Amino acid sequence: MAEVLTAAQMRRIEESAIASGAVTGATLMERAGQGVVDAILAHWPELNHSEDAGSGMAGEGAVPTGLPLRAVVLCGPGNNGGDGFVIARLLKRKGWAVEVFLFGDPLRLTGDAKLNYTRWCALGSVQSDLDLIDRFADAGLEADLFVDAIFGTGLTRALPDRLADLLGKVAGCRTVRTVAVDIASGICTDSGRMLQPADPQPAVSKASFDLTVTFHRAKRGHLSQEGALASGHLAIVDIGLDLAHQTLRRKLAVPSLEDACLGSISHWVGQTDDANPAFDVPLAGVLAKDAFGHKFRHGHALVFSGETCKTGAARLAARGALRIGAGLVTLAVPGNALSEVAAQVTAIMIAPVSGSGDALNLLQDSRLNALCIGPGLGVALARSLVPIALKQTRAVRRSVVLDADALTAFAAAPDDLFALLHSNCVLTPHFGEFTRLFPDLAQKLVARPTHGPAYSRYDAVCEAADRAGCVVLLKGPDTVIASPEGQVSVNAALFENQAPWLATAGSGDVLAGFITGLMARGVPAMRAAEMGVWLHAQCGRNLGPGLIAEDLPEELPHVFRSILS
């Protein structure tokens, strides 16, 4: 899985590379600017060719024969602005007509940003911020390309109003290609939240870019909240920091050095990078069943069903567990729902469970190695069943997925639940359920983010996992998963990977079943949650419009086949 960094981690790697003498800040900035230009031309190949772009350009170094391509580069006062000056220079050298604006005082530029400002000034002018907005309205909206190099990882507070307005104006203009350097200005790199002014009155821009070009690794904010929406297509360019990163990672292996070096690094489920080239989410070893194996070698999942007329959710979960490869799946069904469930299932077995005694007896069977409790269960039933199941399984640390009503049942006393959990448990709340169990964390997530780094979904889920003592998976287009040991992953079902059709009744029940089935197959909790959520989104993408929850388990064989082929 690809690594996803915070701003501090990125800075730490950059500083370490510079301190080692392997590279200078100026070289990194040059590579960053070049990387952005390359990514722009790769994303919009028509900008390479005069005839397609209608500009009369004939490639690098050529003198424009017709109308040159036009870029507007808006630079900020820090190194993100420095990257912007490099980009302006490189485009100008390619024959583009480039207009550069600076938000800030040129006399206050320092270091590599100042160096590249000076280099740009030998080629063209820089418009001061005073006439920024008026000039932009005339110039930028008619340009072929708009480059946002205002703020990157150094953003500490909300955009000034006029910048927010300006970016909103650009985003609203469909004729100009828009690219954000490193991250869309205004977005907090660590949380993906748009920083807001303390005064709630001014409207804050919700600018969404066509392309974001970031350096070395994706940052947390690209994959979560408004940052995911603002980024557009995300390109990650190599600027030669791998060696410094590896050196730090080796130090990370020494726990006492961890905080001083990098802190824990989060992961992007299903993505690869140079450090992790293997596509390792749906492990072939899990999907494959050995030729001489029998069904009990692949685990036995038990899903607790609700009472009559409320059995659909558990049946969806059970079907998910079976399709994902559990050797056997049993539904524990209250007496009044037996005929209803029996009429609906075939390969899935049924165990009548009418009361705590039956549940306890059933749970004595040690072959039942993964439980799913909560979908459609009803809050009252969940409140009595969850302690029985968890107390009975605590000694053996049997795998348990708790979803829906099993979470809501503890809204009044979350600590009662946390006291029962162990490291082989997975909680799968949506934000409403998360709020019931972790109201203080949810409150921090909805509070107005005025300063960076803002409190993030990553922070909230890590704290929740630590408090609960088990894996917590917060559902959404940006699903975040954390373990009590501090591992954190994100599955971003956005842009090329978007699966909005998953927003349909019952799809979360199927996800709970997927994770239960994987745990029945012996996959550890954190891994099962990561794999389950990735496969779930993959099924959603394959199915597309028209998807209903029943389709999701049935799509798994196609997803598996495409992975194994």
Ligand X SMILES: Nc1ncnc2c1ncn2[C@@H]1O[C@H](COP(=O)(O)OP(=O)(O)O)[C@@H](O)[C@H]1O
Binding-site ranges for ligand NPW (CB under 6 A): 10-11, 14, 28-29, 32, 76-83, 151-160, 181-182, 215, 239
Q: Where are the alpha helices (DSSP H) in 177-296?
A: 225-231, 242-252, 258-261, 284-287
Name the pairing type of β-strands 2-5 and 266-268. Answer: antiparallel
Q: Using CB under 6 A, which residues numbered 395 to 414 contact ligand X? A: 404
- Name which of 306 and 477 has its Cβ closer to ligand X: 477
Q: Which of 4, 28, 47, 181 binds K ion (CB under 5 A)?
A: 181
Name the pairing type of β-strands 126-127 and 97-102. Answer: parallel
148 binds, among K ion, ligand NPW, ligand X, none (CB under 5 to 8 A by kind): K ion
- Name which of 373 and 499 has its Cβ closer to ligand X: 499
Q: Using CB under 6 A, which residues numbered 163 to 182 contact ligand X? A: none
484 φ/ψ angles, rounded to the nearest 5 degrees: -65, -15
Q: Which of 33, 477, 484, 532 binds ligand X (CB under 6 A)?
A: 477
Please, what's the largest Cα pairwise distance for the chain? 86
Shortest distance in whole angstroms from residue 292 CB to ligand NPW: 52
Is residue 315 part of an annotated ligand binding site?
no
- Does position 505 interact with ligand X (CB under 6 A)? The reply is yes
Is residue 478 part of an annotated ligand binding site?
yes
Q: Which residues contact 453 (CB under 8 A, 6 or more apart)?
A: 6, 7, 188, 189, 190, 191
Q: Which of 9, 153, 185, 424 binds K ion (CB under 5 A)?
A: 185
Cα–Cα separations (whole angstroms), residue 386 to 333, 362, 412, 420: 15, 14, 15, 9
- Name which of 32 and 465 has its Cβ closer to K ion: 32
- Does position 475 interact with ligand X (CB under 6 A)? The reply is yes
- Name which of 143 and 511 has its Cβ closer to ligand X: 511
Nearest in space to 15 (alpha carbons), one of 335, 241, 212: 241
- Does position 511 interact with ligand X (CB under 6 A)? The reply is yes
Nearest in space to 413 (alpha carbons), one of 379, 433, 392, 437: 437
- Name which of 36 and 329 has its Cβ closer to ligand NPW: 36
Is residue 154 part of an annotated ligand binding site?
yes
Burial of 526 (0-12, 13-18, 19+ CB in 10 A): buried
- Name which of 222 and 310 has its Cβ closer to K ion: 222
The secondary element (H helix, E strand) that includes residue 302 is strand 300-304
Q: 3-class secondary structure for 111-124?
A: HHHHHHHHHHHCCC
Nearest in space to 453 (alpha carbons), one of 205, 193, 204: 193
477 binds, among ligand NPW, ligand X, K ion, none (CB under 5 to 8 A by kind): ligand X
Is residue 263 part of an annotated ligand binding site?
no
Report the alpha-carbon distance of residue 93 to residue 95 in Å, rounded: 5
- Does position 424 interact with ligand X (CB under 6 A)? The reply is no
169 binds, among K ion, ligand NPW, ligand X, none (CB under 5 to 8 A by kind): none
Report the alpha-carbon distance of residue 25 to residue 110 in Å, rounded: 12
Binding site listing for AMP: 475-479, 508
Write out the binding residues for K(+). 80, 148, 185
- Applying CB under 6 A, the residues found at the interface with ligand X are 404, 430, 475-477, 479, 493, 499-500, 502-503, 505-509, 511, 536
